[in-house]
């Protein structure tokens, strides 16, 4: 997967990092550059701990998800991760892909239970 990268690695608000997810208001707390920075960081962690460096990634149907997904993928790829795109899908598909593709990690870009 090749993506044009116009993103910058940036320091972002650490309050978006939660115990088990990342949350924030799109284009305020979570920008494309934030997603890129998180992708680079998460990708480096996965690459340092796993030899195959495989990460499955999908996104939901919200209008803002594709741009965050593209930025996150760019960061993951630049970190050296092998990205398996599962595209537009429901959240359970990320778990399914992680199991069946035998990836080291899976990421789902979603607004969770919040309205589109």
Separation of CA 108 from chain center: 6
Q: How far apart are CA 105 and CA 116, in angstroms?
A: 26
> Which among 37, 51, 65, 112 is annotated as catalytic?
112
112 is catalytic: yes
Query: Could you tell me the strand order of the sheet in which 82-88 lies?
Result: 82-88, 54-59, 105-109
C-alpha distances in angstroms, 68 versus 32, 37, 48, 75, 80?
5, 11, 24, 11, 19
Phi, psi of 38 (to 5 degrees): -65, -40
Q: What residues act catalytically?
A: 112
């Amino acid at each position: 997967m090749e993506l044009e990268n116009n993103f910058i690695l940036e320091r972002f608000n650490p309050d978006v990092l939660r115990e088990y997810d990342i949350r924030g208001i799109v284009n305020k707390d979570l920008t494309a550059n934030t997603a890129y920075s998180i992708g680079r960081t998460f990708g480096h962690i996965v690459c340092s701990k796993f030899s195959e460096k495989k990460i499955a990634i999908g996104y939901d149907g919200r209008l803002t998800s594709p741009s965050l997904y593209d930025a996150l993928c760019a960061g993951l790829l630049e970190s050296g991760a092998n990205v398996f795109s599962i595209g537009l899908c429901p959240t359970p598909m990320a778990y399914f892909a992680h199991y069946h593709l035998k990836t080291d990690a899976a990421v789902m870009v979603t607004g969770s239970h919040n309205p589109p």
